[in-house]
Chain A
Amino acid sequence: MSDGDIAHDGVDVGGGTMRFPADAVLRLDSGGRIEGLEVAYKTYGRLNAGRSNAILICHALTGDQHVASRHPATGKPGWWDKMVGPGLPLDPARHFIICTNVVGGCMGTTGPTSDNPATGKPYGLAFPMITIADMVRAQAMLVEALGIERLFAVVGGSMGGMQALQWAADYPERLFAAVCIAAAPRHSAQNIAFHEVGRQAIMADPDWHGGDYASLGVRPEKGLAVARMAAHITYLSEPALQRKFGRELQRDGLSWGFDADFQVESYLRHQGTSFVDRFDANSYLYITRALDYFDLAASHGGVLAQAFQRARDVRFCVFSFTSDWLYPTDESRAIVRALNAAGARTSFVEIETDKGHDAFFLEEPVLREALRGFLDSAAQAQGLPQGLSQGLT
C-alpha cells in the first residue's frame, strides 16, 4: 500500500505547469477570455506508444492535481490514494494518469490568485466568471498539448463527475469511457443555498476587502473557514456524524459558554482552519459559482438526453451513495435515464454506505471493485493491453 505518495513506490510521477501561448485563448462561457492560460497538472505512469492509455481524473470543488502524491502545502497523502496507485483500479503500471487543477483554482492553474496581465496584480474579482464547461475546455487544451487525441477514460467524483459528464457532452469523440461518481446533472436549490451561505461568510469577513485582500497582504480566513464548515456538513451523513461524534464532549462537563464543548464542533473548527492553509477564498467563490451555474440539460434545450446525443459510443459508469444527501441517488438516476434515452452504453451502481457524499474518496471496497471491473473490461474492449508497462515500475 502506498504511503500517500506513489513516487515512493517507484511510479513515474510527472507534470508541472503547462503555459499556453497568448494566442491560445481560453474562451469562456461568460464571454470572457483568458490569454496566457496556465494549467498545473500531475501525471502518474507512462503514456504508451499508441497514446491510448491516458486517464484524466477530474477533481472536486476543493481538490487539486495532487491525486496520488503528497500535498505540497499540507503534506497529506494524495486525495484519491485509495483508488490511484499500484494494484489499484487506476494503476500507473497500466494507465497514464493525468490530473489537472481546474481553471479558477488556486494550485497553479490560472485563477483569481494569478496575476492579471492587465494590471500585474492578482486578479481578485477581476477574474472572469467560469463554468464547468470552461474547466473542461482548459483540460482539453492540456490533453491535446500532451499529444493525446483520445483519452481512455475521464473519471471524477462530485464536481469531477460533472466534468466527466461535460467531457462526454462536449468532446465525445475524445474519450472512450466516462466515470461519474456522486455527482448531479445540475445544482439543486439546496446545493445553491449551501454555497450561498459559504460565499456570504467569505464576503462578510472584513479581511475580504471586496476580493482585493491579496494586494493588502491579508486573507479572509475566518470567512473561508466558516464556508468550509458549512460545506463539510453536507459531505457527511447524519448517521456518520452521529457514529463519529454523537454528543461526546471535548472535556469533562460543559463550559457553560461558547467554546467548542462538543467534539463535532471541534472537528468542524479544525476542518475550517486547516482548509484555509490550502485554499483561496476567491477561488472558493468562483468554483462554487461554477457549480451553481452547472445545468447540463439547460445548455441542451432543457433535455438532458440531448447533452449525450453524440456520446452514444462512450461507455459510462455512474455511481451514487445511498447516504449522499448533497447529490442524492435520484440525481444519478436522472443522469442514467438520460444516458439510456440517448442510447449510450451505461452502467450504474448505487453503493450502500453511511459515509455520505465523501464516501467517494474513502475506503469503499464495493466502489473500488466495481470501478476496477468497469475500467478493466473497458480497457479490454478498447484493446488496451493489460499490464502494458510492466517492468517500468
Chain B
Amino acid sequence: MTAVGVREDFREILRLVRPGARVLDVGCGEGELLDLLAREKGVDGRGIEISAQGVSACLARGLAVVQGDADRDLDSFPAQAFDYVILSQTLQAVLNPRHVLGELMRIGEQAIVSLPNFGHWRVRLDLLAHGRMPMTGSLPEPWWSTPNIHLCTLRDFTALCDDLGLRIDAAARLSEGRPARPIDPSRPIENWRAEAGLFLLSRREGTARAPAAPAKSDLFG
C-alpha cells in the first residue's frame, strides 16, 4: 500500500528504514510514524513521547511507548538496542542537542534526524530585511513563545556531526508540501534552499574527536 496524505518527512523516513528493523521514535506524538513504519515496513517500533495524551493515543494503537523527554530519558535504553533512532523536528527544541545526538548514536546503529534550517534563504532575508527574528512556514512562532531554543543551519548541524564523529549516510531537504529531495549537505546552495534537512547518521570508526575549530564563515555558505 502506498501511503497517501503522509507527511513528506515521514515518506522519506519510510524510504530509508529497512524492513523489519528495530526502531525508536523519540518524540513520537500520537504514533503516526511508528504506525506507518509498522504497517509498511514491519518494523518493531518503540516510542518516547512527552505528553500522557500522546502516550495514551499510542497505547490505543498498540504501540509500546514510554512517557519521557529526549533530554532526560534516553538513558533508560541500553546501547545499540535499535537499528534506527528517529528524532523528527525535535533536536532544535531540546536543552542539550549535543548530548541528545550522542545518546541517539549510543542507542541506535543509525539515527534519522530532521530539523528546520535557519540558513534557509527566507529566514536570512527576513532577518536582513526586518531585523527581527524570522517567522516562516517551518518556524511559525514568535521568538518569545517558540519551543525552538537551539536553532541552527544545515552547516551548523553537519559541523556538529563532524565534531561528534558521525558520518552522514544520506541527507535530504524538506520543503513544505513537496517531496524530499536527496542533497549533498556540504554544498552551500543547500544551506540556502532547504527549509529543513533530514539526515541518516552513523558512527565513524573511532570515537568522537575534540571540538574542531569553527569553519571559515562566509556570506554565501
Kindly list chain B residues whose C-beta atoms are within 8 Å of the C-beta of A340: 66, 76-78, 81
B138 on interface, CB distance cutoff 8 Å: no
Kindly list chain B residues whose C-beta atoms are within 8 Å of the C-beta of A346: 46, 64, 66
A377 and B61: CB pair below 8 A? yes
Kindly list chain A residues whose C-beta atoms are within 8 Å of the C-beta of B67: 348-350
> Please, how many angstroms separate the alpha-carbon atoms of A350 and B78 in the complex?
21
A348 and B56: CB pair below 8 A? no
Residues of A in contact with B, size category: 20 to 34
B31 to chain A, nearest CB (A): 11
B59 on interface, CB distance cutoff 8 Å: yes
Task: Map CB proximity to B onto A328-371 as digits: 1 under 8 Å, 0 otherwise.
Answer: 00000100110011010111111110000000000000100110
A376 on interface, CB distance cutoff 8 Å: yes
A188 on interface, CB distance cutoff 8 Å: no
> Please, how many angstroms separate the alpha-carbon atoms of A372 and B56 in the complex?
9
User: Which chain B residues numbered 64 to 104 have a C-beta less than 8 Å away from chain A?
Assistant: 64-68, 73, 75-78, 81
B60 on interface, CB distance cutoff 8 Å: yes
B76 and A373: CB pair below 8 A? no
B29 to chain A, nearest CB (A): 15
Contact flag A377-B59 (CB < 8 Å), given A315-B64, A340-B81: yes
Residue of B nearest to A337 (CB): B76
Kindly list chain B residues whose C-beta atoms are within 8 Å of the C-beta of A381: 62
Q: Could you say which of A337, A347, A380 has the most chain B C-beta atoms within 10 Å of its C-beta?
A: A347
B53 on interface, CB distance cutoff 8 Å: yes
Contact flag A369-B56 (CB < 8 Å), given A348-B66, A350-B67: yes
B59 and A374: CB pair below 8 A? yes
> Please, how many angstroms separate the alpha-carbon atoms of A370 and B59 in the complex?
6
Residue of A nearest to B59 (CB): A373
Contact of A345 among B61, B64, B73, B76 (CB under 8 A): B64
A49 to chain B, nearest CB (A): 24
Q: Could you say which of B55, B59, B76, B77 has the most chain A C-beta atoms within 10 Å of its C-beta?
A: B59
A343 and B81: CB pair below 8 A? yes
Contact flag A377-B62 (CB < 8 Å), given A340-B77, A341-B78: yes
Kindly list chain B residues whose C-beta atoms are within 8 Å of the C-beta of A370: 52, 55-56, 59
A378 on interface, CB distance cutoff 8 Å: yes
> Please, how many angstroms separate the alpha-carbon atoms of A117 and B73 in the complex?
53
> Please, how many angstroms separate the alpha-carbon atoms of A369 and B61 in the complex?
12
Kindly list chain B residues whose C-beta atoms are within 8 Å of the C-beta of A317: 59
